[in-house]
Amino acid sequence: ISPGFCFADGLASLALLRQGMKDKTSDGVFDWNVTGASICYLAVESFSYFLLTLALEILPSIKLTSFVIKKWWEKINIFRHDSSYLEPLLESSSETVVTDFDEDVDVKTERNRVLSGSLDNSIIYLRNLRKVYFEEKHHGRKVAVDSLTFSVQEGECFGFLGTNGAGKTTTLSMLCGMSDF
């Protein structure tokens, strides 16, 4: 029984008693059939959760840090590999880049500006960033980020716009070093 259910059940029983729809044999608000059972369960759960919290905080062998959880998760996913380990992350030449025919004019202009080397006051610049995930179901590859090229000038604020699955989170994870690449 969850604490939320105990609280809601106690309030519902109290409302039913107030409206006269509860058993008339229980006159008191704290009777077992009105709110007594719910309060008792909440008291037992409060004590139990308090002891669990103390155990997790005090016992050093049970502490679950983010590092321990990450290592445990890596052991579970040991057979899952990114195929991007096999491919270069940044291409050195613009000749290998396949451009999209539906690419916006501004996107083409930015790509050409960065690839041409005119990076005045750029604090961040990416050239042909690519991330490919291995798909276990279809034994294929899923391209999450494909040939992303842009630069951010000093003092400039930037953000990513795009539909779901466009690679925004993957790109930021790679820039922050949170993704294996």
User: Which of 33, 63, 93 is at the close of a domain?
Assistant: 63
Taking a C-beta distance cutoff of 8 angstroms, is the pair 120, 156 a contact?
Answer: no
Q: Per residue of the chain (181 residues), give pLDDT as tens.
A: 688 888 888 888 888 888 877 766 666 888 887 888 889 999 999 999 999 888 777 776 655 666 666 777 777 766 555 544 445 544 444 444 555 567 788 888 888 888 888 777 788 888 888 888 877 766 678 888 888 888 888 888 888 888 887 888 888 888 888 776 5
* Tally of structural domains, the chain: 2
91 and 166 in a common domain: yes
Query: Does residue 77 form part of some domain?
Result: no
> What type of residue is 120?
D
DSSP-assigned letter for residue 83 = G
99 and 167 in a common domain: yes
**What domain range is 22 assigned to?**
3-63
100 and 21 in a common domain: no
55 and 125 in a common domain: no
161 and 88 in a common domain: yes
Query: Does residue 78 form part of some domain?
Result: no
Query: Does residue 59 form part of some domain?
Result: yes
Query: Does residue 150 form part of some domain?
Result: yes
Rounded Cα–Cα distance for residues 144 and 41 (Å): 49
Query: Does residue 75 form part of some domain?
Result: no
Query: Does residue 157 form part of some domain?
Result: yes
Q: What per-residue confidence (pLDDT) applies to 146? A: 84
- Report the half-sphere exposure of 145 (CA within 13 A, side-chain side): 26
Query: Does residue 181 form part of some domain?
Result: no
172 and 87 in a common domain: yes
User: Which of 63, 92, 107 is at the close of a domain?
Assistant: 63
Q: For the full predicted model, state whether its pTM sits above 0.75.
A: no
